[in-house]
A and B are shown apart, each in its own frame.
Chain A
Amino acid sequence: DTAVSQTPKYLVTQMGNDKSIKCEQNLGHDTMYWYKQDSKKFLKIMFSYNNKELIINETVPNRFSPKSPDKAHLNLHINSLELGDSAVYFCASSQAFTGIGEAFFGQGTRLTVV
């Protein structure tokens, strides 16, 4: 029944490792997003995909690579993890690409790099 689900919920890893976060939505939405929430709760968009096509790529290090195998999935792969990557990462989806409607968020993945 979960609309937007992302796994894992918690991820603790060492610097230099490569990790992936998976996201799936069962709402039939065309647009999916990755947001990063820092320790001060500030939310910043990282990527946006519409029908598997990359639309938004904010100033994010090349170590972050999103992949959308189909419009229901948007995964995030991070190479060579750094301490500063520690944050909560949220996947979201929305129906409207232009004009922006309501967005549905996953529960978040708390990434801790040690």
Chain B
Amino acid sequence: SQQGEEDPQALSIQEGENATMNCSYKTSINNLQWYRQNSGRGLVHLILIRSNEREKHSGRLRVTLDTSKKSSSLLITASRAADTASYFCATGGGTSGSRLTFGEGTQLTVNP
């Protein structure tokens, strides 16, 4: 069954603006990860946040995790045209066991 649901499904912004994507999940987890997928390419890992963490930063990325609400958000600050891609959240461990369960993804378009 599908674990994660992301919103929005599509997001279009101008370069320099911030982009926020949300992810909700249903089961207990060990960690939550965010991945980026450029068109026609494989997924690239961006950031991992453990279930006992609330916030994590990596460069222009900021991830929050609220295990009580079973939700996470990914913020990309000062977006660039090169950030245009699909972004997926994935939950690992916990009830999901040894698998990564992916959300539906958010298609981000950053217009120059």
Whether B86 contacts A41 by the Cβ 8 Å rule is yes
- B-side interface residues, number (CB < 8 Å): 27
Given contacts A41-B105, A55-B98, contact A99 B31 (CB under 8 A): yes
Whether A104 contacts B45 by the Cβ 8 Å rule is yes
Residue of A nearest to B91 (CB): A100
Q: Does B74 contact A (CB under 8 A)?
A: no
Q: Does B43 contact A (CB under 8 A)?
A: yes
Complex Cα distance, B105 from A98, in Å, reads 24
Whether B31 contacts A100 by the Cβ 8 Å rule is yes
Q: Does B7 contact A (CB under 8 A)?
A: no
Whether B93 contacts A103 by the Cβ 8 Å rule is no
Whether B88 contacts A100 by the Cβ 8 Å rule is no
| A41 / chain B contacts, CB cutoff of 8 Å | 37, 86, 104-105
Q: Does A50 contact B (CB under 8 A)?
A: yes
B residues with a Cβ closer than 8 A to A are: 2, 30-31, 33, 35, 37, 40-45, 48, 86, 88, 90, 92-93, 96-102, 104-105
